[in-house]
Structure 1
Amino acid sequence: MFGPEGPSLRELAVQALSSVEHGYDLLAPKFDHTPFRTPDAVLESVAKALAGTGPYQDGLDLCCGTGAGTETLAGLCRRSVTGVDFSAGMLEVARRRIRPAGGPGVAWVRGDARALPFTAAFDLVVSFGAFGHFLPGELPVLFRQVHAALRPGGRFAFPVLAPPRPTRPAYWALLGFDAVMRVRNALWRPPFVMYYRAFRLGDVLGGLRRAGFAVETAPQPEFGRRDDGSPRARLVTARRLSPPPAA
Structure 2
Amino acid sequence: MFTSQGPSLRELAVQALSSVERGYDLLAPKFDHTPFRTPAPVLEAVERALCATGPFDHGLDLCCGTGAGMDVLRAVCRESVTGVDISAGMLAVGRERAPGEPRLAGPRVGWVRGDARALPFGPVFDLVVSFGAFGHFLPRELPGLFAQVHSVLRPGGRFAFPLPAPAPPSSPWYWALLGFDAAMRVRNAVWRPPFVMYYRAFRLGDVRRELVRAGFDVDLYPLSEFGRRPDGSPRCRMLVATRRADAPASG
TM over 0.5: yes
The aligned counterpart of 1:141 is 144
1:126 aligns with 2:129: yes
**Alignment gaps of 5+ in structure 2:** none
The AA in structure 2 aligned to 1:184 is R
**Aligned partners of 2:249, 2:125: CA distance in 1, in Å?**
21
1:103 pairs, out of 103, 106, 126, with 106
With the length of structure 1 as denominator, give the TM-score of the two structures.
0.98
The 1:41/1:181 distance shift into structure 2, 3 A limit, reads: same
The aligned counterpart of 2:61 is 61
Farther off after superposition, 6-15 or 100-109: 100-109
For 1:30-109, list aligned pairs within 5 A: 30-99=30-99, 102-109=105-112
For 1:71-220, list aligned pairs within 5 A: 71-99=71-99, 102-220=105-223
With the length of structure 2 as denominator, give the TM-score of the two structures.
0.96
The AA in structure 2 aligned to 1:38 is T
**Aligned partners of 1:117, 1:179: CA distance in 2, in Å?**
34
Deviation string for 1:12-37 (max 9, x for gaps)?
00000000000000000000000000
**Aligned partners of 1:231, 1:100: CA distance in 2, in Å?**
38
Partner SS for 2:4 = coil
The 1:51/1:91 distance shift into structure 2, 3 A limit, reads: same
CA contact (8 A) 2:124 2:152 kept: yes
**Aligned partners of 2:44, 2:64: CA distance in 1, in Å?**
16
**Aligned partners of 1:178, 1:52: CA distance in 2, in Å?**
36
**Aligned partners of 1:243, 1:31: CA distance in 2, in Å?**
41
Measured after TM superposition, the shift of residue 100 of structure 1 is: 5.4
Measured after TM superposition, the shift of residue 225 of structure 1 is: 0.7
CA contact (8 A) 2:151 2:249 kept: no
The aligned counterpart of 1:241 is 244
Runs of 4+ in 1 over 6 A off after TM superposition: none
Measured after TM superposition, the shift of residue 84 of structure 1 is: 0.1
**Aligned partners of 1:69, 1:171: CA distance in 2, in Å?**
26
**Aligned partners of 2:247, 2:100: CA distance in 1, in Å?**
34
The AA in structure 2 aligned to 1:15 is Q
Identity of aligned residues (%): 72
CA contact (8 A) 2:123 2:153 kept: yes
Deviation string for 1:116-136 (max 9, x for gaps)?
011111000000000000000
